[in-house]
């Protein structure tokens, strides 16, 4: 059983198909064993701020119930405990105001979910490998 302190990836995704595809992509490169899934923005914030968990990266959808992804990002960046936490937006939104707002708030990367299955798997795999194995976060 994975505890909050073992989590390396916080996946914030309300779409069950996208969740399954993301987890399958991470599993293919052996990175799915330490993933916590939050299915709405409120659940993501609760996980980050009440469990004091510090994942290595947050994969964040924007169009979420309860608290949208932009507000989740704003709260992550607005708190000294999570300000430097890498956040990668993984969304279907290509809307320029969303992209601009996310970068204004300090998102580390903004990725539009590919429609093609193989491209989606490759994109998620590369994101996982980069943020978990290559990136050097602050201590």
pLDDT in tens, 35-84: 999 999 999 999 999 987 789 999 999 999 999 999 999 999 999 999 99
Where are the extended beta strands (E) located within 8-127? 9-12, 35-38, 57-60, 87-91, 109-112
Residue 105: give the domain boundaries: 9-129
CATH number at residue 47: 3.40.50.2300
Strand (E) positions, 8-104?
Answer: 9-12, 35-38, 57-60, 87-91
Specify the DSSP class assigned to residue 53: -
What is the per-residue pLDDT for 33?
Answer: 79
Report if pTM > 0.85. yes
Instruction: Please report whether residue 135 resides in a domain.
Output: no
Predicted local confidence at residue 116, as pLDDT:
86
In a domain, 123, yes or no: yes
The CA distance from 110 to 98, in Å, is: 10
Q: For the chain, what is the domain count?
A: 1
3, part of any domain: no
Share of the chain above pLDDT 90, in %: 63
């Amino acid at each position: 059983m994975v505890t909050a302190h073992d989590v390396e990836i916080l996946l914030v995704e309300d779409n069950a198909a996208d969740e399954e595809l993301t987890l399958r992509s991470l599993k293919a490169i052996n990175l799915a064993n330490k993933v916590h899934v939050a299915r709405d923005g409120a659940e993501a914030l609760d996980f980050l701020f009440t469990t004091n968990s510090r994942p290595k990266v947050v994969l964040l959808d924007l169009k979420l119930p309860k608290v949208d992804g932009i507000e989740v990002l704003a709260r992550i960046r607005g708190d000294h405990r999570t300000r430097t936490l890498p956040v990668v937006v993984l969304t279907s939104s290509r809307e320029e105001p969303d992209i601009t707002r996310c970068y204004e708030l300090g998102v580390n990367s903004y990725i539009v979910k590919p429609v093609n299955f193989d491209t989606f798997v490759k994109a998620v795999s590369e994101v996982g490998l980069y943020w978990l194995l290559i990136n050097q976060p602050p201590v």
